[in-house]
Amino acid sequence: MLALLQKAGRSGFSVLRRLLAGGFSNEASPLNHLGALTIFSCWIVLISGIWLLIFFRTSVSGAFESIEYLTKEQWYLGGIMRSLHRYASDAAIVTILLHLVREFSFDRYRLKRWFSWVTGMPLVWLVFALGITGYWLVWDELAQYVAITTAELLDHIPVFTESMATNFLSDESLSDRFFTLMAFLHLIGLPIFLVFGIWLHVFRLSKPRINPPRSLMAGTLLCMLVLSLVFPADSQEKANLAVVPQTLDVDWFYLHVYPLVQLWSPGWVWVLLVGVTLLVVLAPWLPPGKRLPAAKVNLDNCNGCRRCADDCPFEAIRMMPRSDGEAYDLEAVVDSDLCLSCGLCVGACPTSTPFRSRSALVPGIDLPDLSAAALRESIKKTAGKLEGYDRVMVFACAGSDALSKHLKADHAVVNVRCMGQLPPSFIDYVLSRDLADRVLLAGCGVGDCRYRYGIEWTEQRLSRKRDPSLRQRVDNQRISYGWQTDSPTGQEAGS
């Protein structure tokens, strides 16, 4: 069942990627920057919210009027800011949910990645809380509905000594302090927790991408501005606690569970919300993934160059003072609690070269269960199966299973855990020793690398922009990429 859900998710993202391919390059595709787009949307919400706060009056009589002033009389700035505030808030919900589904579909939430997954769930609750409290501040009929329904939900939590719903029995029972409290929560209290939560969510990652490409930011902002001008955000009728609103335009981005409070009961809605939250939080252990042995450092071949630490996507390698008395300042130390055994460190190690013949192939850092020596033997064994005039050796990572249907009879496959595990010297070895006529690198879909930087580091190494780089003697015309899992036609390396 789990595999079917993940396969369906990957197929859905493959369709989305093809739909977006005409308007976005691989680097600027929104699907590759969902988390960063969420943070960018939060920046728009923050900046526009500061402008709205300048004119907002925290009182029962002044809240609605101040928002109406911004919307109608100051439409050229205040109205646009309000609409930007609204559309950026909605965009944050969309990107958060897509980001969550994407990480689940590509199995990037289990084992040692559980921390980022679990800490993401409170962020979802915080964003929804921010959106809901924002609706309260408008104090129109929708805000009245949201306030009363939220009070009914909160009254079912056995924490509050007094009923919140009694504050909304009449206009006289509602005080100005309510709007002061809501303004504080919406503009100061909850955002502080959100910023801390975002930091906690990404702090275990190396080189987290918290900003989308500038072109994507500009395009996103432009789209929101166009929406703000064509479909400006507007208020409904002013709230009147003496009258029950008959018709409401509900925001389904934030308020999708609110109609269930009337259809079911607050208690059952809490059962649904808590149940879904617990299911998502416990997902990394339902069932747990297969644990792999962490990378292992061999100090006899480690000179402390720190390339493995620089290339590790998960901050699992630290450079520490030398412990073996050798004439080097540093040594690499692997934190087994953070290492995902992706092998990107092996691909970064300059001593991981298959040309070594007078001594055992034991690089400075290696994977115990898929070593560089075992990879070289696999290459030799696979090369013996190649025949014909166009022998192609395919290096396939764990995320490139879909490429198997495209392989021909004169192709032979060598499996690696991640494309970033493959040092450029191994490609040099295959071509210079005439073990194959061409090399095809069959990796994850663009932007969907299971280990974040496997494809990116590989491309930079082959284009000689990152150490260890491919030797100049290697003809790049003999190397092809096959990153797209649904269209592995190949692309010249470094082009």
C-alpha pair distances (Å), 489 with each of 455, 481, 482: 16, 8, 6
Look up residue 122 and give its amino acid.
P
- 53/202 Cα distance (integer angstroms): 30
Q: How many CB atoms lie within 10 A of CB 108?
A: 18
Beta strands 330-334 and 491-492 are unpaired
Query: CATH top-level class for 2-285?
Result: mainly alpha
- 487/46 Cα distance (integer angstroms): 41
Torsion (CA) 196, 199, 200, 204 in degrees, nearest 10: -170
Query: Dihedrals φ, ψ of 296, to 5°?
Result: -125, 135
- Evaluated on CA atoms 121, 125, 130, 131, the torsion sign reads positive
- Residue for token pair 């290696």: 366
Going residue by residue through the chain, which has 495 residues, state the pLDDT in tens, using 9 for 90 and above. 788 998 898 889 888 888 888 888 777 889 989 999 999 999 999 999 999 989 999 888 888 999 999 999 998 899 999 999 999 999 999 999 999 999 999 888 988 889 999 999 999 999 999 999 998 899 999 999 998 899 889 888 877 667 777 777 676 777 788 888 888 889 889 999 999 999 999 876 777 888 899 999 999 999 999 999 999 999 999 988 888 877 778 888 999 999 999 899 999 999 999 999 999 999 999 888 888 999 999 999 999 999 999 999 888 999 999 998 888 899 999 999 889 999 999 999 999 999 988 889 999 999 999 999 999 999 999 998 888 788 999 998 876 655 555 566 567 889 999 999 999 999 999 999 999 999 999 888 767 788 888 988 999 999 999 999 999 999 999 998 887 544 333 333 333
Cβ contact 212:140 at 8 Å: no
**Where are the alpha helices (H) located in 155-204, listed in sequence order?**
176-184, 190-202
Q: What is the 3-state secondary structure (H, E, C) of 222-258?
A: HHHHHHHHHCCCCCCCECCCCCCCCCCCCCCCCCCCH
Q: How far apart are the first and last CA of the chain?
A: 41
pTM here is 0.85
Contacts of 458 (CB under 8 A, 6+ apart): 347, 419, 420, 422, 441, 443
- For the chain, the residue count is 495
Domains of the chain, residue spans: 2-285, 296-492
Torsion (CA) 72, 77, 81, 84 in degrees, nearest 10: 100
Q: Is 78 exposed, middle or buried (0-12, 13-18, 19+ CB in 10 A)?
A: buried
